[in-house]
Amino acid sequence: MSLKNKLKIAIIGATGYTGLDLVYSLSKHPKVKILYLCATKNLGKKISDFDSRITKKLPKLTSSNKINWNELDLIFLSLPNGEAQKIVNNTFSKYKHLKFIDLSADFRINNPKIYFKNYKKKHKARNLISKSLYSISEFVKKNINDYRIIANPGCYPTSIQIPLIPLLKKRLINEDSITIDSKSGYSGAGKNYKKKFTHKNFDQSAYAYGIKAHRHICEIDQEFYKFTKRKIKYTFNPHLLPTFRGILTSIYFKSKNKYSAFKIRKELIKYYKNSKFIKILKLNSQIGSGNVINTNNCEISICETREKNKIVIFSAIDNLVKGASGQAIQNMNILYKFSENLGLK
């Protein structure tokens, strides 16, 4: 593809953990040209000052107010919750050629009342929520092209839905017995993580939080219902680990009609047979997040337990890649009919 025909993009919120991963990967993408890197601080600085991995010469940091929207095809929004909706609201109707990939929660939740309850912000673009698509890449390939606003999912929900939704759709598990336990690196909380988490010995300890009312629960509820038309009962227990990136999710359940772990694994292999980034391990494989760090892969291990019909599924992703920037790029690739793994190998 010639320079003239490359996809022209801006990344707004370029200096956060997710933004930097976006810049790093997109700077190497053969069909993308980055025209703007936007931030609210450090304007005029080089993006390489914030991440030494970025070696390509790129535009210096600028305010989003300086953007010429007519120059662009696609905007990546890697901003705090409540900010992306303002930008989309101000540009969506005026610049009808523009598409948006939002990595915040602003367009994930269909009901603005539920969004307000969980994020304590009134939605500034309520009329555009119906024009957005919640997009775990593996589930949206058939209809993503009908939308200009792509809502990138949360990292915990990605690690949970990829292994569970195929099984829930086919009613293979007992829906009253699901316990979900997720452990994440602290980068998921953003650069201000020490203001959000103040527990003792942060750098040496694991920490359980948000067990009854973690804000990702509404997102998981919404998507479970969308695929099953049923209210799925489960408990969700998130934990923070003293490691920078990576998520390991453990999902415990009883199988339905005595489905064995072997049959559960076979079903997931069948469902994801054409998925480039979903890796189903051998039955009863030990698993950690180490293999998926800095990749867009989701590794899944289905394991038997001491109880005959009790099964545990482990799901590992990099929260900053498959849980954020990588999935955003995967969605872009699907949206523009590029090879799905372009720029993500």
Active site residues per annotation: 155
* CA–CA separation, 110 and 241 (whole Å): 31
Cα dist from 223 to 54, 155, 165, whole Å:
35, 14, 9
SS (H, E, C) the chain: CCHHHCEEEEEECCCCHHHHHHHHHHCCCCCEEEEEEECCCCCCCCHHHCCCCCCCCCCCEECHHHCCHHHCCEEEECCCCCCHHHHHHHHCCCCCCCEEEECCCCCCCCCHHHHHHHHCCCCCCHHHHCCEEECCHHHCCCCHHHCCEEECCCHHHHHHHHHHHHHHHCCCECCCCEEEEEEEEHHHHCCCHHHHCCCCCHHHCCEECCCCCCCHHHHHHHHHHHHHCCCCCEEEEEEEECCCCCEEEEEEEEEHHHCCHHHHHHHHHHHCCCCCCEEECCCCCCCCCHHHCCCCCEEEEEEECCCCCEEEEEEEECCCHHHHHHHHHHHHHHHCCCCCCCCCC
What value, to the nearest 5°, has the Cα angle with vertex 262 and ends 257 and 265?
Answer: 100
Beta sheet of 310-317, edge-to-edge order: 207-208, 234-241, 178-185, 247-254, 310-317, 298-304, 278-280
Sign of CA dihedral 340, 321, 148, 215: positive
